[in-house]
Amino acid sequence: MTSSPRVTVFGSLHYDIAVFGPARPRKGETVTGSAWHPKSGGKGGNQAVSAAKTGIATSMIGAVANDDFGRFLLDNLARKGVDHRFVARDAKGSTGMSVAIFDDEGDYGAVIVSGSNLELGDTHLDAASDVLSETAILVLQNEIPDAANVAAARRVKAAGGLVLLNAAPARPLSDALKTLIDILVVNAIEAEMLAGVDVVETLEGALSAARILRASYPQVVVTAGGAGVAAVDDKGQEIMIDPVKVKVESTHGAGDEFIGVLASDIASGSTMRDALVRANHAAAKLVGTKEEERG
């Protein structure tokens, strides 16, 4: 492990198409929108950009196809200061993409098509073996195969690094992956699936879920949207962080902004409480920024 901390993100890259309308359509309904624009996305790509913005060395391991969408995503990583040497340019298939439909309140619904992200595995990890051995914290999500996450986590743990899993979108986790996680980060919906209980999206509800999940994971963070964030750290200390009040412009990407800053601060040696405070502020700032004004 080098003395300079590094965040490595192993995960998804999506070409996002953002569509804006008065409301999200119901089944069978057509809604007239006001605008649309392309943007770089995928939880992995977003989280890598968020971490890099803090100034920490950040590497992205992923895959895109040899198409215009893939080139767009690679250009964005380069502009944002992310080490993207280990994003494979796969000539087969297509780059992952998504369509997100925003309503007037800034909320959204999305459909993703995983594409090249489903090809991630040992070949991509072998190419990045030197970076993985120097990683202070590995960030994973559920937009790539579970087996790929397990393989990456094993390599980083063997080198002495930490593993943070943002268990989104919600899906069952393999026993192999569960044993490798140092920090689990979930929202209320994901917490319900993993804890097997109803979770009320309040600060108290988030803390109750974190207590349950702490029995299976060393550290647990449960976000509760506009209600704040709760956690139980590796010493059993319970943490509740109040929300930062902002005018909601768009909630899109707020969770990924939170994850990137959280990982960066923990990799740099911050306490969980301090890292949560900074991540919470970063996510709130993003929520209060209009989509078209984001860099």
- Give the phi and the psi of residue 93 in degrees, each rounded to 5: 70, -150
Express each pLDDT in 16-58 by its tens digit. 999 999 999 999 999 999 999 999 999 999 999 999 999 999 9
Express each pLDDT in 84-93 by its tens digit. 999 999 867 8
Q: What percent of the chain has pLDDT over 90?
A: 83
**Span between the terminal Cα atoms of the chain, in Å:** 32
> Reading across the β-sheet that carries 14-20, which strands appear in turn?
35-41, 14-20, 97-102, 108-113
Predicted TM-score of the model (pTM): 0.92
Domain ranges of the chain: 6-12+41-93+117-293
Q: Give me the pLDDT at residue 295, please.
A: 65
DSSP label of 218: S
Residue 61 has pLDDT above 50, yes or no: yes
Q: Give me the pLDDT at residue 105, please.
A: 85
Mean pLDDT, range 54-63, rounded to an integer: 98
Please state, rounded to an integer, the average pLDDT across all residues of the chain: 94
Q: Give me the pLDDT at residue 252, please.
A: 77
Residue 214 has pLDDT above 80, yes or no: yes
Q: Give me the pLDDT at residue 62, please.
A: 97
CB 186, CB 223: distance < 8 Å: yes
Architecture of domain 6-12+41-93+117-293: 3-Layer(aba) Sandwich (3.40)
Mean pLDDT, range 119-143, rounded to an integer: 97
Would you give the distance in Å from CA 291 to the centre of its chain?
Answer: 18
Residue 126 has pLDDT above 90, yes or no: yes
Q: Give me the pLDDT at residue 195, please.
A: 92
Q: Which of 13-22, 67-76, 258-267, 283-292 has the lowest mean pLDDT?
A: 283-292
Q: Give me the pLDDT at residue 2, please.
A: 47
CB 227, CB 241: distance < 8 Å: no
Q: Give me the pLDDT at residue 107, please.
A: 83
Express each pLDDT in 191-211 by its tens digit. 999 999 888 889 999 999 999
Contacts of 103 (CB under 8 A, 6+ apart): 21, 22, 23, 24
Q: What percent of the chain has pLDDT over 70?
A: 98
Q: Give me the pLDDT at residue 162, please.
A: 98
Residue 226 has pLDDT above 90, yes or no: no
Mean pLDDT, range 233-262, rounded to an integer: 91
Confidence of residue 286 (pLDDT cuts 50, 70, 90): confident
Q: Give me the pLDDT at residue 92, please.
A: 75
